[in-house]
Chains A and B, each alone.
Chain A
């Protein structure tokens, strides 16, 4: 699929398959095109070029069938805050075609799943952020969709709520739902996904299971350093240091891919000392998706 907005090419020739029953992650920084792809798959936007099949239905020719098959959990909470939890679920259930006793039963079930049965009559406006997020997810489950699409559901929330959401994703998948998950957090993609597509600037730059992707960077270690001076004072020196494959600097932090951190790190300290620069923190990571992204794009995954 392609999608451009005037001269801005948000999605350029994206092509991927998601198998039934798997968790598939789109991993990339903000602006990579993840949300645009989600919007096209949810039939909110039409691709400029190309098509997609969701459960065999074309997003262009059969959008209603696509919408009936998917449940979309938007990044921002989208609820009617002046209605109760039950009233929200009732309404959205009707929008998904549920009626009468079937609707009542399903609403009861979902309230139990999301843990809001005790607060079903409470106004959503008075809920905590975590409760709203649970209700936000619950709405997407009302019609028992075959595919759940989650657009960065953990952005800006506390660690406990985030943990709950990740556990919910796994539970949903265990119940047989296919999950398409977008995130810019490497650890989420790593923990959840059967397959991952790494995106940058509208394109998929790598695609596969976690282990396959990590092999792209081989056995390279990642070292994150902060120094007490401008990065420019050591950048060239470190780039020329034996064992260093790649150096990038962003927001006061330098990230290096090196052969063996135990061997390269002393060289980096010595080089910095000669330049009159002091290294204030060091973090060493084994090969992971962030390293893959850095290797493929020359930039860190997170803003």
Chain B
């Protein structure tokens, strides 16, 4: 009962502290909210709305009379396809100078300048032509998208040239005469095929590939929510570890102000006193994690995953945060040391654990391995598995490792404190 009295006393003091409340709840939601807002995710289904990029396209392509088509015009048509309307707002400029001027005045993000000999060079065996992308240097995402689309289209011409060459070679070996119209027909058919392939790849499909995700009981998450989830998870983990260290710091603070010694003069066993303080940490963290998860589910529409798996990962996080915080504080002598040490250790361990790069894709595999040197990395892995639809079996390993690390940290910290106050 006294354990609970001490725990409730500490929790009352924590939840009365404006600073503690801000650090536990407001800051993690605020940081995530800023990132969420930066990607325009305040509307729709909670996913991301990428900003529309304004594009000025100048088609200077003038295929010779021997050509019945224009690759330049095909590219313009491709860019103006209604399926790209949510990403690109394409306007044909009168000339190159006007297009460049629009970018300079930030009326457009990118100017796509198709050279005069584009079609001719595309079909000539040794032909070379380059499309110029003139972009606003303050933008990265929109021009990147345009570059990707144009590159994909241009890559098709290499295929066209290869296809034409192969057809010419094969027919020549069989003694069939090849004329320009036949070559154009080959080029057109290949071009149409490449264009269709490009569109289907843009929709996530490929004629030669059938991608099947593992069976999942959860609905697939939207792309936006899929990105925000790990970001919020990183914030929950980081600030949970901060709370774990802060609650452990109260032991040092009470020692400094004399209330800990006074507690030791009461007929309350030291194990009960320290146990009460540990219990305060556990309960406070449970409240924090639950509130953050519920709040982020409502505000950012994050779907955390299957409840039992979520609860297990959260339990691992709580144990690890309490243990890690106790471990750090047990080696400090005063609250003056605690501030800078806590900040440094938590930031470094968070960085090593990968909490600040959750939004990045395709990081090196070695980085994933480094993350697992910390309990943070294991908790994050557990969260990611849960958000991807993982069940209890999938998260069991991360949860067990997290619990194990937390218990070891806790045991060492508790032992150091017990010796200190023996």
For A99, give the chain B residue with the smallest CB separation.
Answer: B1
Chain A, range 176-197, C-beta contacts under 8 Å to B: none
Q: How far is the CB of A23 from chain B (nearest CB, A)?
A: 20
Q: Is the CB of A94 within 8 A of B13?
A: no
Contact with A along B174-211 (1 / 0, CB 8 A): 00000000000000000000000000000000000000
Residue of A79, A87, A94 near B259 (CB, 8 A) is A79
Task: Give A56 to B206 CA distance when docked, in angstroms.
Answer: 89
When the two chains form their complex, are residues B267 and A78 in contact, meaning their CB atoms are under 8 A apart?
A: no
Known: A92-B266, A95-B5. A44 touches B13 (CB 8 A): no
Bound CA span A80–B257, Å: 9
Report chain A residues within 8 Å CB of B2.
94-95
Asked whether A14 is an interface residue with its Cβ less than 8 Å from the other chain, the reply is no
Number of interface residues of B (CB under 8 A): 20
Whole-angstrom CA separation of A82 from B9 in the bound complex = 11
Q: How far is the CB of A99 from chain B (nearest CB, A)?
A: 8
Q: Hey, which chain A residues are within 8 Å of B17, CB to CB?
A: 82
A28-66 vs B, Cβ < 8 Å mask (1 yes, 0 no): 000000000000001110000000000000000000110
Measured CA separation A97–B1 after assembly (Å): 10
B73 to chain A, nearest CB (A): 74
Main secondary structure of the interface of B (DSSP, over half): helix
Which residues B212-263 have CB closer than 8 A to chain A? 257-259, 261-263
Q: How far is the CA of A82 from the CA of B5 in the complex (A)?
A: 16
A77 to B257, CA, bound (A): 8
Contact with B along A68-102 (1 / 0, CB 8 A): 10101010111110110001000110111100000
Asked whether B13 lies within 8 Å of A82 as measured between CB atoms, the reply is: yes
A134 at the interface (CB under 8 A from B): no
Which residues of chain A are near B362, meaning CB under 8 Å? none
| Inter-subunit contact B268/A78 (CB<8 Å) | no
A78 touches B258 (CB 8 A): yes
Whether the pair B266, A96 counts as a contact (CB closer than 8 A) is yes
Residue contact A78 to B12, C-beta cutoff 8 Å: no
Cβ of A295 under 8 Å from chain B = no
Complex contacts, B262 vs chain A, CB 8 Å? 72, 74, 78, 92, 139
Q: Given B257, B259, B261, which contacts A44 in the complex, CB threshold below 8 Å?
A: B261
| Closest chain B residue, CB of each to CB of A71 | B265
- Are B259 and A78 within 8 A (Cβ)? yes
Contact of B13 among A67, A68, A83 (CB under 8 A): A83
Select from chain A the residue with minimum beta-carbon distance to B264. Answer: A44
Known: A77-B258, A91-B5. A82 touches B263 (CB 8 A): no
Query: B-side interface residues toward A, CB under 8 Å?
Result: 1-2, 5, 9, 12-13, 16-17, 257-259, 261-269
The 8 nearest A-B residue pairs measured at CB: A78-B258, A95-B266, A67-B267, A68-B267, A78-B262, A72-B265, A94-B5, A42-B265
A-B contacts, 30 of them at CB < 8 A, read A42-B265, A43-B264, A43-B265, A44-B264, A44-B265, A68-B267, A72-B262, A72-B265, A74-B258, A74-B262, A76-B258, A77-B258, A78-B259, A78-B262, A80-B259, A82-B13, A82-B16, A82-B17, A83-B12, A83-B13, A87-B12, A91-B5, A91-B9, A92-B262, A92-B266, A94-B5, A95-B2, A95-B263, A95-B268, A96-B266
